[in-house]
Amino acid sequence: MPVSLKGVLYAIIVAVLWGVLAIVLKVSLNELTPVDITWFRFFMAFVVLSAYYFFKKPYYLRILKRPPLLLVVATICLAINYYGFIEGVNRTTPSIAQVFIQLGPVLLAVAGFTIFREKAGWRQIAGLILVATGLILFYREQLHQIDSGRGAWQTGVIWVIIGAVTWAAYSILLKVLVLKHPPMQLNLFIFGLPVLLYLPMVDFGHFFQIGLTGWLILMFLGLNTLFAYGLLSLAIQYIEANKVSVILVLNPLLTFALMAIISHTGATWIRHEHYTWATLLGALIALAGAVLTIFRKNAKGKSME
């Protein structure tokens, strides 16, 4: 399989994993706190990955002793991203969080134009205008639909935006780091440091109170972390930053579709989402703007493959 095709495939899998992630996080918040869940996601991913490389490539573990400074900064950014996103999901809804978190790929694309010298044109300018217009429309319409808890909802949106900014910073640094280090070796440290950072804030008593279903959900979240960020590292290594971003920015469509199906079935295990046409229009405008921002043509004038 061509290297570029591998990168695209990895990015698609990440988009699917993240499309489901927000919904599962919302369900897990019924029994655990955002910090508990965030810590466990990193803990499980680190244990599985470190155990694998302990036997397969033990020299990979050296990065835990002497990590590059950029890697430390990138890891802190990702740790903030995780908490920001789940706190946003906790205070709003999966679909709302998924819309606003798309600022991350847009910022990554902007970094591609400014830092990595990827060419930008009228599409990028028009796309950024559409992103701003769509998010404003989406935000205003959703705000009008809220009868109570408006302050918590607005705080949740702020947390998601913080998560988007820190994710973009993490991805920019990762793009530099993968030039000198294997992606999965970087993930050993990326998964490990947050385990220590969040440890003092975890209430382990909560883990003894959840049942089998709760533990299965936690296991899925941990594996989701391991596979999504492992594949993301490979995707960024194999293809341009904007190619990765244009694929990832489509994952809210899966979240919207799944939440629509769940709400239609009348399921009681998650709060249903109801949107007006104006809300959906705002979301679609924002996503279309994000795709337009990220999309570019190569030097020969042909669209990227």
Distance of alpha carbon 202 from alpha carbon 34, whole angstroms: 9
Q: Quick one: what percent of the chain has pLDDT higher than 70?
A: 91
Distance of alpha carbon 153 from alpha carbon 89, whole angstroms: 10
In a domain, 301, yes or no: no
Q: Contacts from 175-180 at CB under 8 Å and sequence distance 24+? A: 175/116, 175/236, 175/241, 176/70, 177/68, 177/70, 177/71, 177/74, 178/233, 178/236, 178/237
Place of tokens 């993968």: 178
In a domain, 305, yes or no: no
In a domain, 201, yes or no: yes
**Residue 46 burial (CB < 10 Å; 0-12/13-18/19+)?**
buried
pLDDT band at 62 (very low <50, low <70, confident <90, very high): very high
Instruction: State the pLDDT at residue 299.
Output: 40
Instruction: State the pLDDT at residue 148.
Output: 62
Number of domains the chain is built from: 1
More confident site: 40 or 12: 40
Using the predicted structure, report yes or no on whether residue 184 has a pLDDT greater than 90.
Answer: no
Contact assessment for residue 102 and residue 287, using Cβ atoms and an 8 Å cutoff:
yes
In a domain, 84, yes or no: yes
Distance of alpha carbon 248 from alpha carbon 250, whole angstroms: 5
In a domain, 85, yes or no: yes
Place of tokens 């960024």: 236
Instruction: State the pLDDT at residue 116.
Output: 64
pLDDT band at 166 (very low <50, low <70, confident <90, very high): very high
Contact assessment for residue 90 and residue 229, using Cβ atoms and an 8 Å cutoff:
no
CA angle, residues 164, 37, 207, in degrees to nearest 5: 175
Q: What is the pLDDT of residues 131-162, one digit of tens each?
A: 888 888 887 877 776 666 778 889 999 999 99
Amino acid at 290: A
In a domain, 304, yes or no: no
Instruction: State the pLDDT at residue 196.
Output: 97
Distance of alpha carbon 104 from alpha carbon 169, whole angstroms: 9
Q: From the centroid of its chain, how far is CA 290?
A: 15
Mean pLDDT is lowest, of 16-25, 48-57, 211-220, 289-298, for 289-298
78-82, 92-96, 253-257, range with greatest mean pLDDT: 78-82
In a domain, 44, yes or no: yes
In a domain, 269, yes or no: yes
Instruction: State the pLDDT at residue 215.
Output: 95
State the residue range of the domain holding 161.
Answer: 3-294
